[in-house]
Structure 1
Amino acid sequence: MFSNIVQWSTTCQDVVVSSSRVYGGVEAPDRQAERRNRLLDAGLDLLTSGPAPNLTVRGVCKHAGVVARYFYENFTDLDQLSAEVFDRAIGHVATTTQQAVDAAPLPEKTSAGIANLVRVIEGDPRIGTLMFGNNPANSVIAERRQAAWDMFAALSGQHMNKTYQATNDETLRAVSYYTVGGVGHTLAAWVSGQLKLPGTELVRVLTELLQPVRR
């Protein structure tokens, strides 16, 4: 499934720094970056807080401990916040998984990729809910998920073509979408608690299922 994972690219808007003065020894750009991270963390908390999260600018700012003008210093609206929360999360998944896959020998690359994905979710369950929760928090997250599945399906096809010399055609694309869908639904069941397996056992099961069947 994993072979050449390209880091999820994000396009961040240019922001205007309201003050260039130093407060408490901290430069203005550093203060703004810290506020931005707090807003993104608040967004992640609230987007994964329940089956139907009610995201508001006031709620995000209260959760982050900042005033509303700092929200608009960083984001145009809640849709942009939602998109950047998702992009940051999947960017972390993609980057760390690429590192794990690159470090593994060829026969163990699939296991390394799955193990890293499970490890990231165990380390921050919010990421698991954001990516695999049964109900996407809003339409932006739903669209971002679909784009992510398309990306991972393409990468799965590249992996099978490179590792197992599978023919790169529409049949391979079908298998790739089937693979990504199966893994995604399994992880969704695990994240929701419907599937009760230790992380290490989940990695073993998924790795075995993803091994090619020789005909």
Structure 2
Amino acid sequence: MQGTSAAQAKVWRGSTSEQRSDERRQRLLVAGLEIFGTTGYHSSTVSGLCSAATVSTRTFYELFNQRADLLEAIYAQVTDQIRVDIEQLPTPTVADIEQWAGDAVRAVVGPLLADLRACQIIEIEVVGLSEQIEERRRQTTLAIAQGLDAVQLALTDPAAPQPSRADRELVGVFVVGGISESLVAHLRTPPADRRSAEELLDMMTAILLRVLKP
């Protein structure tokens, strides 16, 4: 009976303490996406984030040690999904490389152009913030770049010398880095002068094909 009472004590209005904690964390992630992605990380405050998320500052510090941890959590949420989307793409052949390139660019860049708040966070707000976040950025770049490894091998003529792993990795990092800098330039271009999302995706696809197509 004592165990049952203890379990019941954790339930309030139909949800457990863990569920309430998850809900508050999600509200902070949503608030962080809006605030970090519009007014910027350095202009934000814990109190402002808490007000937007309708949680107390005590709750914030129960979930995150500092604002940078919330920013990193948002970064991880967005980039982890991009990595999953990339991994789900089939390895292309020479015959369908153009379709694959378009799908790959849309998997990586499409979500960021669809929500420029996420793009602002991924490409600008996290840069140089801390060594921990920089290491995560490097690992994320490398992981996405490695998604091009099997693609490069699949497109190489079997009769020709195979590119080394180091060479394939360099090409992948070059492509991902170029995409990243293109997005920064897009964000810094006045909205009235920006290319449309479709135009930018098409241009990136064409450039990727120039790099990969045999």
- Alignment TM-score, normalising by the size of structure 1: 0.75
Larger Rg: 2
Return the alpha-carbon distance in structure 1 between the equivalents of residues 125 and 20 of structure 2: 36
1:52, distance to aligned residue in structure 2 (A): 5.7
* 1:143-189 CA distance string (max 9 Å, x none): 43232222222222333123446523322222222212212111221
Counterpart contact for 1:39–1:60, Cα < 8 Å:
yes
Is 140-149 or 108-117 further displaced after alignment? 140-149
- Which amino acid in 1 is paired with 2:129? N
Counterpart contact for 1:157–1:168, Cα < 8 Å:
no
Q: Give the structure 2 partner of residue 173 of structure 1.
A: 169
1:88, distance to aligned residue in structure 2 (A): 0.9
1:128, distance to aligned residue in structure 2 (A): 0.9
Report the CA distance shift for 1:97/1:192 in structure 2 as closer, same or farther (over 3 A): farther
Return the alpha-carbon distance in structure 2 between the equivalents of residues 29 and 51 of structure 1: 30
Q: Give the structure 2 partner of residue 117 of structure 1.
A: 108
* 1:95-141 CA distance string (max 9 Å, x none): 33444x24988522221021233331233221111112387383254
Q: Provide the alpha-carbon RMSD of the alignment.
A: 3.0
Counterpart contact for 2:83–2:144, Cα < 8 Å:
no
1:85, distance to aligned residue in structure 2 (A): 1.6
* 1:70-111 CA distance string (max 9 Å, x none): 113322333322221211111222233444x24988522221
Q: Give the structure 1 partner of residue 10 of structure 2.
A: 20
- Which amino acid in 1 is paired with 2:78? A
- Alignment of 1:161 with 2:161, yes or no, is no
Secondary structure of residue in 2 paired with 1:111 = helix
Which structure shows the bigger proportion of residues in helix conformation?
A: 2
Counterpart contact for 1:161–1:168, Cα < 8 Å:
no
Return the alpha-carbon distance in structure 2 between the equivalents of residues 206 and 61 of structure 1: 38
- Which amino acid in 2 is paired with 1:173? E
* 1:49-74 CA distance string (max 9 Å, x none): 34562343323212211112211332
Where does structure 1 differ by over 6 angstroms across 4 or more consecutive aligned residues? none
Q: Please list every run of 5 or more consecutive structure 1 residues that lacks an aligned counterpart in the other structure.
A: 1-18
Identity %: 22
Report the CA distance shift for 1:90/1:213 in structure 2 as closer, same or farther (over 3 A): closer
Q: Give the structure 1 partner of residue 54 of structure 2.
A: 65
- Which amino acid in 2 is paired with 1:110? A
Give the total of aligned pairs: 195
Q: How does 1:1-215 map to 2 (within 5 A)?
A: 20-23=10-13, 25-50=14-39, 53-99=42-88, 101-102=89-90, 106-107=96-97, 108-133=99-124, 136=127, 138-139=129-130, 141-164=133-156, 166-193=162-189, 196-211=194-209, 212-214=212-214
- Alignment TM-score, normalising by the size of structure 2: 0.75
